[in-house]
Amino acid sequence: MTILDTRTPIPDYFIAGATGDWEMVIGLEVHAQVTSRSKLFSASSTQFGEPPNANVSFIDAAMPGMLPVINEECVHQAIRTGLGLKAKINTRSLFDRKNYFYPDLPQGYQISQFKDPIVGEGEVHLDMGEKIGIVTVGIERLHLEQDAGKSIHDLDPSMSFVDLNRSGVALMEIVSKPDIRSSAEARAYITKLRTILRYLGTCDGNMEQGSLRADINVSVRRPGGEFGTRCEIKNVNSVRFAGQAIEYEARRQIDILEDGGEVIQQTRLFDPKSGETRAMRSKEEAHDYRYFPDPDLLPLEFDQALVDRLAADLPELPDEKQARLIRDYGITTYDASVLVADRASADFYESVAKGRDGKLAANWVINDLFGRLAKEGLDVTNSPVSAEQLGRIIDLIVGGDISGKIAKELFEIVWSEGGDPAEIVESRGMKQVSDTGAIEKIVDEIIAANPEQAAKVKDKPSMIGWFVGQVMKASQGKANPKAVNEILRAKLGL
Ligand code: ADP
Ligand code: MG
């Protein structure tokens, strides 16, 4: 198979070796657990965290004579995901048996899709920042397959156990083209894919629970040159580990090549403790699995009408949402990217920003609210300050009722005590003083108390800042700064 290289080498990504520069080539196979109440071919529950072997039917345990029946919802989820990846949906696909032995695989084969997957080519866009821009990573395919069970070796020194709760759970394997060129891009790709899946509601993206895991193929080459031999790092379950594993693996391959050696195609494991990858087994080939069509299952066929119906019901996806937020609310690309990182954040922002100054709303949501939430380990879904309350705080600023500084205090009060922001401002006397008479009185007092400074300010007009500070302090931050400035200038003869 010849692989088309669609990327122009980016010098920022080059790795300096003893003999010159190198470039990474990376392709990912991501396993995403389908969000569905029951398994791919049985009615067993997919509930996480149940006692071992609680969710196991005769089909999942591969009892002789059992017949798999496809779960319609899992098919719909795969189609939705394909649509979200702008991919070709194949209205006819086939299930194959991938044969291998493992104690946690009682069937002796995994039902998967090989030659004819349910989803074909698509793409994912990564925003790599101002300098590098938007990078497109091609999707090769997405297919449905069963998960295996789990062997447990650490409960007893002389026995191993098998938990089949996972056996038969539906997975989507999403295979990228070898279009990724750095560990930063690989991390961005996993993150973006997870965001898209979560928006679609087709996978919860929970990497700690194993709902999303990546097999990472890494090779190195001279910039823009021929692809090198790759190694595959299995089952990486965190974005950070993915970055570390790639950096280590690329360096390992470069050292081998610069020593005059050859990279051996291998399956490797990443050890987060040492930060290293180590060999697990030599690479298996497709023929080792003796794939063949599963005689228990008919070809999977559906009408284009089903695809169209699911497409019509698709939620707005992150890229589209980002473009719309920039357009409708006039916020920066960066702010929009922060807001669309998850759907709840974007929704929260929109409830605050609707009918208000979009930029001011973005500042408050991202800097004040998200900053505070992160500090407390909370997320936007359990924010002590609601979108409505934050919107009211912004209204009070824009309406000239409170200064930006008082608004921060008000935010703190609403955060810890709750309540209606306008009432708090009223009852605690936090209202900004715009009444010129009251401000004039304070200004007169300050000038009278500081005759030396008042004399000097004519020669050194920048000293007015000091006076503004004094007046603001005397008014406990409540004086309208604009009015203070004007009155001071008039009274000091500036
Ligand atoms: P297999 O099924 O044997 O693992 P595939 O051709 O399906 O092989 O490729 C698996 C993954 O490896 C894909 O994500 C692909 O992009 C990636 N890949 C292919 N060639 C290379 C390469 N030279 N370097 C890095 N990744 C590669
Ligand atoms: Mg593979």
- At 18-29, the pLDDT tens digits run 999 999 999 999
Q: Is the pLDDT of residue 141 over 70?
A: yes
**What type of residue is 162?**
V
Q: Are residues 217 and 357 in the same domain?
A: no
Confidence at residue 1, expressed as pLDDT on a 0 to 100 scale: 43
Residue 5 lies in a domain: no
Tens of pLDDT, residue by residue over 443-481, are: 999 999 988 888 888 888 888 889 999 988 888 888 888
Tens of pLDDT, residue by residue over 162-215, are: 999 999 999 999 999 999 999 999 999 999 999 999 999 999 999 999 999 999
Q: Is the pLDDT of residue 298 over 70?
A: yes
Q: Are residues 24 and 113 in the same domain?
A: yes
Q: Whose CA is nearest to atom 11 of ligand 1?
A: 27
Confidence at residue 40, expressed as pLDDT on a 0 to 100 scale: 98
| Nearest ligand atom owner, CA of 4 | 1
Q: Are residues 341 and 205 in the same domain?
A: no
The response to whether residue 176 sits with its C-beta less than 6 Å from ligand 1 reads yes
CA of 110 to the centre of ligand 2 (A): 15
Q: What percent of the chain has pLDDT over 70?
A: 99
Domain containing 409 equals: 315-427
Where is the domain boundary, 309, 334, 358?
309
Best mutation site among 100, 175, 232, 257 for ligand 1, i.e. most ligand atoms within 8 A of its Cβ? 175
CA of 294 to the centre of ligand 1 (A): 25
Q: Are residues 230 and 193 in the same domain?
A: yes
The response to whether residue 250 sits with its C-beta less than 6 Å from ligand 1 reads no
Q: Is the pLDDT of residue 433 over 80?
A: no
The response to whether residue 217 sits with its C-beta less than 6 Å from ligand 1 reads yes
Structure confidence at residue 3 as a pLDDT band (50, 70, 90)? low
Where is the domain boundary, 385, 403, 427?
427
Best mutation site among 1, 139, 230, 287 for ligand 1, i.e. most ligand atoms within 8 A of its Cβ? 230
The response to whether residue 357 sits with its C-beta less than 6 Å from ligand 1 reads no
Q: Are residues 39 and 172 in the same domain?
A: yes
Structure confidence at residue 4 as a pLDDT band (50, 70, 90)? low
Tally of CB atoms within 10 A around 328: 12
Residue 123 lies in a domain: yes
Q: Are residues 421 and 441 in the same domain?
A: no
Residue 359 lies in a domain: yes
Confidence at residue 476, expressed as pLDDT on a 0 to 100 scale: 83
Q: Are residues 237 and 90 in the same domain?
A: yes
Confidence at residue 481, expressed as pLDDT on a 0 to 100 scale: 82
Q: Whose CA is nearest to atom 15 of ligand 1?
A: 27
Structure confidence at residue 39 as a pLDDT band (50, 70, 90)? very high
Residue 3 lies in a domain: no
> Which ligand 1 atom is the nearest neighbour of the CA of 286?
3
CA of 215 to the centre of ligand 2 (A): 7
Domain count, the chain: 3
Confidence at residue 437, expressed as pLDDT on a 0 to 100 scale: 84
| CATH number of the domain residue 462 falls in | 1.10.10.410
Cβ–Cβ under 8 Å, residues 26 and 218? yes
Residue 182 lies in a domain: yes
Where is the domain boundary, 278, 309, 340?
309
Q: Are residues 272 and 179 in the same domain?
A: yes
Q: Are residues 299 and 188 in the same domain?
A: yes
Q: Is the pLDDT of residue 419 over 50?
A: yes
Structure confidence at residue 302 as a pLDDT band (50, 70, 90)? very high
> Which ligand 1 atom is the nearest neighbour of the CA of 179?
16
The response to whether residue 385 sits with its C-beta less than 6 Å from ligand 1 reads no
Residue 1 lies in a domain: no
Residue 138 lies in a domain: yes
Distance in Å from the first CA to the final CA of the chain: 79
Per the model's pLDDT, the better-predicted residue between 439 and 140 turns out to be: 140
Q: Are residues 235 and 300 in the same domain?
A: yes
Q: Are residues 374 and 245 in the same domain?
A: no
Q: Are residues 202 and 345 in the same domain?
A: no
CA of 307 to the centre of ligand 1 (A): 29
Q: What is the mean pLDDT of the chain?
A: 94
Mean pLDDT across 388-412: 93
Residue 214 lies in a domain: yes
